[in-house]
Structures are given as C-alpha cells and as structure tokens.
Amino acid sequence: MFKFLIGIVAIQIATVGLVMLAPEDLQGIAWLRLLIPLLVVALFSAFWFSSLATHKSKDDLSNLQEKHAREREKMQVNAERAKTRMMKKTQQQIAKEAKLTHGKANFKVGATLAGAMGFGALMLLTEMLTLGIMTITTAGGTLGGYLYRGHKERKRTALINAPTELAIEETTKILPKVINKLK
C-alpha cells in the first residue's frame, strides 16, 4: 500500500508545482494552461494506480493458488500415509486371524488323525491286521497330505505378502523425503 501513498504524494507535489508555476492572473485561456497539465498528471496517475492494483491482485492470486496447491499436496500425502497405515494394519490383522484359524484347524486335524491312528493300533492289537494297517496307512497319508498342503499355503502366502510388505516399507521410507521437499 506504500506504493499508492508514494503515488498520491507525487500527484500532490506535481499539482502544487503546477499551481505555483501558473501566472497570478488566471483569466480566460490561462485556466486551460493550468488545467491541461493537471489533467495529464491525473490521467497518468490513474493508469499508474490501475497498473499497481492489477499487479497486486495477480500477485495475491498467485500466492493463494500456491498456498492451495501446497495444502492439496499435503492432504494427498496425509491420505496416502493413512491408506498405507490402514493397509499394513489390515494385513497384520488378516495374518493374525489366519494363524488363529490355522491353529484351530491344525488341532482338530491332529486330534482326528491321532484318533484314527489309535483306532488302527487297536485293530492291530485285536488281530484285525488288514483293517489296522489300512487305517494307519490312510491316517498317515492324510497327515502327509495335510502337511504338504500347509507347506504350499505358507509359501504362497509368503509370495503374496512379500511384495506388498516391501512396497509398504518403501513407501514409508520415501514419504518423509517427499514431505521435506514440499516444505
């Protein structure tokens, strides 16, 4: 706003100077000799003030747009960070529930297979050799298949989770650097 103050003072100085240079007897056409330079000064000062106001409004608009862009970027980074945290938390919860479910299933299968083995041993003791061997063999095959499937499942889960966990770790490492660059 000091730019406008300087312009107003300059206009007043020019007006006082022109009035002091004017002849003392202002009659007829002598008034035109004073009014024409004053109108020229007023016209130039109006253009000058208009230019100052336009530049000021453009600067304010550009500063405001820059501020909004920074805020939008900050909100996007925060949203991405929250999304990453939520994904990581969800994955951990899913893994925890899967372990719990597998543990319960393993206990049930183990108990069933132990029962089948016991039944097979009972058959062997009671001299039903063929039925006992078949029961023990079937239970052993089931146990082997179950262990093989569990091994494959662990491998598949590790392969699925590895890239996601790696991506989450990389994102959490990169985000602070991006935020520091934005500041």
Who contacts 119 (Cβ-Cβ below 8 Å, separation ≥6)?
135
| pLDDT at 26 (0 to 100) | 73
Full-model pTM: 0.45
Q: Which residues of 98-114 are buried (b: 16+ CB within 10 A; e: fewer)?
A: eeeeeeeeeeeeeeebe
| pLDDT at 70 (0 to 100) | 92
Q: Are 88 and 168 in contact (CB under 8 A)?
A: yes
Residue 95 banded pLDDT, cuts 50, 70, 90? confident
Q: Residue 92 pLDDT more than 60?
A: yes
CA distance linking residue 47 with residue 86, whole number of Å: 58
Three-state SS annotation for 41-108: HHHHHHHHHHHHHHHHHHHHHHHHHHHHHHHHHHHHHHHHHHHHHHHHHHHHHHHHHHHHHHHHHHHH
